[in-house]
Structure 1
Amino acid sequence: MAGYDDRDGKIWMDGKLVDWRDAKVHILTHALHYASSVFEGERCYNGKIFKSTEHSARLLKSGELLDMPIPYTVEQLNAAKDEVLAANGLTDAYVRALAFRGAGDEMGVASLGNPVRVAIACWTWGAYYGDAKFKGAKLDIAKWKRPSPETIPTAAKAAGLYMICTMSKHAAMAKGCSDALFFDYRGYVAEATGANIFFVKDGEVHTPNPDAILNGITRQTVIGMLRAKGITVHERYILPEELADFEQCWLTGTAAEVTPVGQIGDYTFEVGALTRDIATEYEALVRA
């Protein structure tokens, strides 16, 4: 396909549809200089966005956490997403909603006089990790740490939080890996660059406390699915040395969906029955 700046189609910007190639911003847009931007990644299956309302609500919450009130309601955002999908003739797609401080009267750190702009795009996108979704992803261990919530609003899905994700994923890819695992500022296991992580031991599931990472919507969905099946889920602090004791591992996220992990650094995991079952059941749920 053509680059993301050179495609046919429509993008919703500030209340109206514009031609894809005309969806542009000025070079002095505040977000480009100071990362005043929040976003959502969503998937549409069979014409319906999975958990659309939850994603729209989180976008508004992220804007609030960045002192950047977004000038639309959840209902308006939901309608805009449906509108852009229809305009592009897509029923199975990835949807990206973005809110950011635009260009305006101010060009310093303070930007209260600059408008908050909103854009929504969609495109077809297959498995985020390619064939790793079926045979198990290989993860590097990032040199960067997820920061303390006292230093940055970690509960926001904010663009600035992804800077170390880009660097860590580039480093992982250079080693032949699909992604990288972060530890947090305390040294506990945290998450991958764009996905939450789960482990299995003795039939029970363990996943990091989301107190310094994004509590993903897919993460919450999968925890609910597991508990509905009667499987014990421990949300807790996980030490790096515990990786040696886990039998299975998988990643969750809107883009990642449920992707098994076969290796993290020197630690290996089987793509076991529970991993396969939850991946299959999640696929059925989002298409129900």
Structure 2
Amino acid sequence: MYYNNNTLIYLDGKFVKASEATTDLYCQTLHYGYGVFEGIRAYATETGTRVFKAKEHYNRLKNSAALINIPFDYSTQELVDATYELLEKNNLNDAYVRPLVFCDPNMSLARPNNVSIMICAWEWGAYLGDKRLRLTVSSYCRPHPRSIKIEAKVCGHYVNSILATNEAKDKGFDEALLLDSDGYLAEGPGANLFFEKNGVLFTPQLGNILPGITRATVLELAEKLGVEVKQGLYKPEVLVSADSAFFCGTAAEVIGIESVDERKFPKSWNESLGRKLQEAYSRLIRNSEKILSTTH
């Protein structure tokens, strides 16, 4: 699904075949989840392949490593250039790009002496599909921000996401919705949450959620479209009176939510703010149309 015998990956400054690449089984990342990663999208546009917000993603990768004391000295531009070259070598236009910073062999809990960088890419549609989602509020909560660096995209953090997603799917839902440790709305296992009420968008504030790059893009688009957005702490009960809702993330892009624990949102998706932002986001990533304000 992800590679074949001809697929190349970028590994520590060289392009090597994915089928021939190796790592050490004593790797600290494998044993403890002590590593950082990113999810990045590349799109075919009228002017060629475009890696969407590549610098922002690689800046976050470097920041994630710094936050958890992983030494990583590649420059953002080096990583951006390597990504474009990787896509070209693999003849990929529309692709998902996965950089991973992983540590050397180390069975202790001390910071690593050396790390490696791997970048791979493959063709991948929208992670959550294109149908509106049926969610359930998870029994798992997001980790407390004093227990981890919540703003870092760390490998081990995603055990929480895997548990929540599988619990939801085992119950017959499409995906989970997680609360924070104080019972406020947080996010999905791999996407940020927005909901609409009376023509205003609401989204959980930073502090207990991953500061998503797609989330930031949606906020930028909302401002350009003249949509009011409020960020704050919201109990899950507010969704009972909400008109519509959506998730957003690099892998998921912008995807509507049909219901939460079988309670359907009453507003037609095609008439919702989420749909307007979904269309604006699609135009932006394909770089095919200027975003115009709905107030004009």
Question: Taking structure 1 as the reference length, what is the TM-score of the superposition?
Answer: 0.94
Q: What aligned pairs does 1:138-217 form with structure 2 within 5 A after superposition? A: 138-217=134-213
Question: Is 1:98 aligned to 2:100, yes or no?
Answer: yes
For 2:263, the equivalent position in structure 1 comes to 267
Q: SS in structure 1 opposite 2:39?
A: strand
Contact 1:102 1:117 in 2 (8 A): yes
Alpha-carbon distance between aligned partners in 2 of 1:139 and 1:203, rounded to the nearest angstrom = 22
Q: Which amino acid is the alignment partner of residue 92 of structure 1?
A: D
Q: Which amino acid is the alignment partner of residue 90 of structure 1?
A: L
Q: 39-48 or 267-276, which moves further after superposition?
A: 267-276
For 1:280, the equivalent position in structure 2 comes to 279
Q: What aligned pairs does 1:61-100 form with structure 2 within 5 A after superposition? A: 61-100=63-102
* Unmatched runs of 5 consecutive residues or more in structure 2: 288-296
Alpha-carbon distance between aligned partners in 1 of 2:76 and 2:259, rounded to the nearest angstrom = 39
**TM-fit CA distance, 1:35:** 1.0
Alpha-carbon distance between aligned partners in 2 of 1:240 and 1:89, rounded to the nearest angstrom = 45
Question: Is 1:9 aligned to 2:7, yes or no?
Answer: yes
* Unmatched runs of 5 consecutive residues or more in structure 1: none
Q: Would you say how many aligned residue pairs link Structure 1 and Structure 2? A: 280
Deviations 1:253-286 (A, max 9, x none): 0000000000111322142422221111100000
**Which ranges of 4 or more aligned residues in structure 1 deviate by more than 2 Å?**
4-8
Alpha-carbon distance between aligned partners in 1 of 2:226 and 2:3, rounded to the nearest angstrom = 47
**TM-fit CA distance, 1:109:** 1.1
Alpha-carbon distance between aligned partners in 2 of 1:23 and 1:40, rounded to the nearest angstrom = 20
**TM-fit CA distance, 1:7:** 4.9
**TM-fit CA distance, 1:20:** 1.2
Contact 1:197 1:252 in 2 (8 A): yes
Q: SS in structure 2 opposite 1:57?
A: helix
Deviations 1:85-122 (A, max 9, x none): 1110111100001111122xx32111433x11100000
| Residue of structure 2 aligned with 1:224, choices 220, 223, 236 | 220
**TM-fit CA distance, 1:71:** 2.4
Contact 1:248 1:272 in 2 (8 A): no
Q: SS in structure 1 opposite 2:120?
A: strand
Q: 189-198 or 28-37, which moves further after superposition?
A: 28-37
Q: SS in structure 2 opposite 1:231?
A: coil
Q: SS in structure 2 opposite 1:173?
A: helix
- What's the C-alpha RMSD, in Å, of the aligned pairs? 1.3
Alpha-carbon distance between aligned partners in 2 of 1:77 and 1:22, rounded to the nearest angstrom = 22
Alpha-carbon distance between aligned partners in 1 of 2:164 and 2:4, rounded to the nearest angstrom = 28
Question: Taking structure 2 as the reference length, what is the TM-score of the superposition?
Answer: 0.92
**TM-fit CA distance, 1:228:** 1.4
- The share of aligned pairs that are identical, in percent, is 37
Distance 1:146 1:265, change over 3 A: same
Q: Which amino acid is the alignment partner of residue 104 of structure 2?
A: G
Deviations 1:223-246 (A, max 9, x none): 111111111100110111111011
Q: SS in structure 2 opposite 1:161?
A: helix
Question: Is 1:128 aligned to 2:111, yes or no?
Answer: no
Contact 1:11 1:20 in 2 (8 A): yes
**TM-fit CA distance, 1:5:** 6.5
